[in-house]
Amino acid sequence: MPLNHPKLIKLLQTAYSAEKAASFAYIGHANSLKDPEQKKVIKQIENDEWEHRAEVLKIMQQYEIPVSKWYELKFHIIGKSIAVSCYFIGRFMPYYFAGSLESGNVCEYFIMMKYFRSLGITEHDHILYEMGIKEKEHEVFFLNAVKDNGSLPFFEKLFGWGKVKQKNNVDFDDLKPVEQSDEYCNID
């Protein structure tokens, strides 16, 4: 059953390919680390991203949405480039930029849910909610890894993410259930 929602189609295609970029980046990030515990956590985050990619593909296939060759190429290059850069940019920046990226990714899944709901489709609510929450867990992990770094205030001011500014309004202290998740990530 094809969808008639260009924004949702583009968001699904982008998310699918961007999850590959994130996975590649986390491979480089993990391999650049010395601490075995940190490597293990980053490897799990990488695995989560591959799982998200697989789930997005299932949804795309259900609605006959093709994988974008352009996004696949673009995000392949981005992911591999980030993976290599992790060996050269120190400890802070890979954690910081991963956290910033994950902060934005949270909303991808909540916005997808809203778009589907606008079409009267709710069967994907739970998986999209779970993926959005998992991205929030990733964001929190990365923020905790850099929260005491002296560079954080400067980077937060420059790039708009950190202890004060986030790119989503999901709050683990007041977590909304799936049914009330429309309150997250307002769309324009």
Per-residue pLDDT reduced to its tens digit, 87-126: 999 889 999 999 999 998 999 999 999 999 999 999 999 9
**DSSP of the chain:** -----HHHHHHHHHHHHHHHHHHHHHHHHHHH---HHHHHHHHHHHHHHHHHHHHHHHHHHHTTPPPPHHHHHHHHHHHHHHHHHTTTSTTHHHHHHHHHHHHHHHHHHHHHHHHHHHTT--TTHHHHHHHHHHHHHHHHHHHHHHTT-TTHHHHHHHHS-SSS--S----GGGPPPGGGGGGSS---
**What's the confidence (pLDDT) of residue 1?**
78
Q: What's 6-183's CATH class?
A: mainly alpha
What is the average per-residue pLDDT within 59-66?
97
- pLDDT at site 120: 96
Residues 131-170 have pLDDT tens digits of: 999 999 999 999 999 999 999 999 999 999 999 998 999 9
The confidence score (pLDDT) of residue 97 equals 92
Domain residue limits, the chain: 6-183
